[in-house]
């Protein structure tokens, strides 16, 4: 099937593609092809279509090469010097390889030269060719596959798409890092859609550990790993940590319409719900925006979240609700950032974390299979949701005292009480429900699982900071639904870096 088109005349750059198409049609219409099973015909047609696309692309580049050669040959010395900053010597037939999504092609172009100066290739700028051999289409495919699964899986998917190995593993890692360099600039140039002053502005922050290579841990973690002593040689004992993780900080900003609720809309009353009243639904998140970083510190990620929130509400006219899980360091950073910007925030402790503490405390008073434990947790949670967290703390401690539990037996109950007392300022759920605020940080918890656990925490992964940062920020970008707009932005920025223009400062975001 290839012998016919290989010998075709080359007067027309597209002759090879036309000859190959004729041969492909002939191959699929032969009597022996009519006896093949459908999967064999399907495979031949797919491979043929890919090769046809490659030949069409090659023919296009050959056509452009001929026209460029004729145009530059027609210029006088002065015209060439003006075009190429003083270079006047014309050399033809300079070739470079370009790996594309349909296979490798050769780009032929002219060089303009002058003594002591590097070659100038006008066609490279017109075509926007990258410095490396991988086309922007192939880079885009690498990014989308590499952030979805492991690099090995990505390379397998790319090979299936391109028909042959198009990129190596180390090259794929480098392309992913290079693709993420403009994300901060992209979001800095973007203007969020406006919202009504009655719309809630909700922020939440979380942290998630990523297993790193030894040289890429934070200094404190690295020193802790050096000081650590192991009870066992082959496994950890109780309380020991691996000290192999670097904490990534994630933040979510979203809008929501207030939705008034009552405690029993959150927690079912004892005995379960009846069908007479449907629980009211909470505020529904919209216009979600995620950011995450393992390279930057938590204060920088929180500042980025406040930047996004302030871009949505520059006059601070909306109600800002911040959902937290009780981490003291995060709370300190959040309050410091709010004070620096002069914005009033309403901090709410995630109710799911509260209920988890209550379930742990219930084991002090009930067995793991006792149905009464659920009733006990529901009663305490309803009391806290009604605004009486101090009463719930008193009740738990009184019950532990009455049963005469030892310090070990009541440890979980005491931890729950301390958790409620330490976060007493953020437990006004009665006010939050009456105002229609969200009281659970499920969005950022889900983001932590999606952005980190589903990709960076796969079995055997050990990350460098640049590699983890690139994958993490690209996954956040894709989750925000901004990848198509970002890729346009990134390709324009990449082109400006390679081929700067005098009017480069007038660049505007193309959405």
pLDDT in tens, 138-163: 999 999 999 999 999 999 999 999 98
Angle, to 10 degrees, between the axis of helix 483-498 and the axis of helix 136-146? 140
How far lies 215's CA from each of 56, 225, 377, 465, in Å?
47, 12, 45, 9
Q: Are strands 200-211 and 320-324 parallel, antiparallel or unpaired?
A: parallel
Look at residue 506 in the predicted model and tell me its pLDDT.
44
232 vs 172, which has greater pLDDT? 172
Whether the per-residue pLDDT at 9 is higher than 50: the answer is: no
Q: Where are the domains of the chain?
A: 3-129, 196-229+240-450
Distance separating alpha carbons of residues 218 and 224, to the nearest angstrom:
10
Look at residue 508 in the predicted model and tell me its pLDDT.
42
Distance separating alpha carbons of residues 72 and 64, to the nearest angstrom:
12
Look at residue 447 in the predicted model and tell me its pLDDT.
87
The pTM is what? 0.86
463 vs 231, which has greater pLDDT? 463
Look at residue 94 in the predicted model and tell me its pLDDT.
95
Distance separating alpha carbons of residues 108 and 64, to the nearest angstrom:
9
Task: Please say whether the beta carbons of 123 and 91 come within 8 A.
Answer: no
Look at residue 460 in the predicted model and tell me its pLDDT.
81
Whether the per-residue pLDDT at 197 is higher than 80: the answer is: yes
Q: What average pLDDT does the structure give for the chain?
A: 89
Look at residue 225 in the predicted model and tell me its pLDDT.
61
Reading phi first (left if > 0) and then psi (alpha if -120 to 50, else beta), residue 103 is in left
Q: Which tens digits make up the pLDDT trace of 302-342?
A: 999 999 999 999 999 999 999 999 899 999 999 999 999 99
> Which pair of structure tokens corresponds to residue 303?
């500042």
Whether the per-residue pLDDT at 3 is higher than 50: the answer is: no
Q: Which tens digits make up the pLDDT trace of 489-505?
A: 999 999 999 988 755 44
Distance separating alpha carbons of residues 217 and 301, to the nearest angstrom:
18
Average pLDDT score over residue span 454-481: 92
Strand order in the sheet with 245-256: 285-293, 245-256, 200-211, 320-324, 345-349
CA triplet 343, 344, 349: central angle to 5 degrees? 125
Q: Which of 273-277, 390-394, 450-454 has the highest mean pLDDT?
A: 390-394
Average pLDDT score over residue span 25-33: 94
**211-215, 287-291, 427-431: range with lowest mean pLDDT:** 211-215
How far lies 15's CA from each of 49, 98, 451, in Å?
16, 21, 48
Whether the per-residue pLDDT at 71 is higher than 60: the answer is: yes
Look at residue 492 in the predicted model and tell me its pLDDT.
94
359, 361, 365, 368: CA torsion to nearest 10: 40
Whether the per-residue pLDDT at 182 is higher than 60: the answer is: yes
**145-149, 212-216, 267-271, 452-456: range with lowest mean pLDDT:** 267-271
Cβ neighbours for 408, distance < 8 A, ≥ 6 positions apart: none
Residue carrying structure tokens 């360091």 = 329
């Amino acid at each position: 099937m290839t012998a016919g088109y290989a010998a075709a005349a080359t007067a027309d750059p597209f002759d090879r593609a036309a000859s190959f198409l004729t041969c492909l049609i002939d191959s699929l219409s032969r009597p022996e092809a009519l006896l093949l099973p459908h999967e064999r015909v399907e495979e031949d047609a797919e491979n043929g279509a890919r090769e046809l696309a490659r030949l069409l692309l090659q023919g296009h580049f050959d056509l452009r090469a001929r026209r460029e050669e004729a145009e530059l040959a027609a210029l006088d010395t002065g015209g060439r010097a003006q075009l190429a900053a003083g270079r006047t010597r014309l050399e033809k037939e300079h070739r470079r390889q370009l790996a594309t999504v349909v296979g490798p092609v050769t780009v032929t172009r002219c060089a303009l030269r002058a003594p002591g100066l590097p070659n100038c290739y006008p066609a490279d700028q017109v075509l926007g060719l990258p410095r490396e051999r991988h086309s922007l289409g192939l880079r885009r495919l690498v990014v989308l596959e590499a952030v979805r699964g492991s690099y090995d899986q990505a390379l397998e998917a790319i090979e299936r798409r391109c028909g042959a190995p198009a990129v190596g593993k180390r090259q794929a890692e480098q392309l992913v890092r290079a693709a993420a360099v403009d994300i901060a600039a992209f979001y800095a140039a973007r203007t969020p859609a406006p919202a009504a002053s009655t719309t809630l502005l909700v922020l939440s922050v979380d942290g998630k550990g990523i297993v790193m290579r030894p040289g890429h841990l934070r200094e404190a973690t690295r020193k802790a790993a050096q000081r650590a002593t192991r009870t066992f040689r082959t496994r950890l004992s109780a309380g020991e940590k691996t000290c192999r993780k670097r904490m990534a900080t994630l933040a979510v900003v979203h809008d929501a319409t207030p939705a008034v609720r009552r405690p029993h809309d959150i927690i079912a009353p004892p005995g379960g719900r009846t069908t007479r009243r449907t629980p009211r639904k909470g505020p529904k998140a919209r216009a979600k925006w995620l950011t995450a970083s393992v390279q930057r510190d938590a204060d920088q990620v929180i500042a980025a979240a406040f930047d996004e929130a302030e871009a949505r509400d520059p006059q601070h006219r909306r109600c800002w609700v911040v959902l937290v899980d009780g981490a003291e360091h995060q709370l300190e950073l959040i309050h410091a950032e709010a004070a620096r910007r002069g914005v009033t925030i309403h901090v709410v402790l995630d109710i799911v974390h509260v209920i988890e503490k209550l379930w742990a405390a219930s084991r002090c008073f009930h067995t793991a299979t006792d149905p009464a434990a659920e009733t006990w947790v529901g009663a305490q949670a309803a009391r806290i949701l009604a605004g009486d967290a101090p009463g719930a703390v008193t009740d738990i401690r009184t019950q532990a005292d009455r049963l005469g539990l030892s310090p070990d037996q009541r440890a979980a109950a005491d931890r729950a009480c301390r958790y409620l007392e330490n976060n007493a300022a953020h437990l006004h759920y009665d006010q939050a429900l009456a105002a229609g605020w969200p009281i659970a940080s499920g969005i950022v918890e889900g983001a932590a699982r999606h952005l980190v656990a589903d990709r960076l925490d796969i079995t055997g992964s050990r990350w460098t900071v640049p590699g983890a940062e690139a994958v993490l920020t690209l996954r956040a970008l894709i989750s925000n639904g901004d990848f198509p707009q970002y890729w346009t932005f990134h390709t324009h920025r990449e082109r400006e870096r390679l081929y700067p223009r005098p009017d480069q400062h007038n660049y505007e975001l193309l959405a």
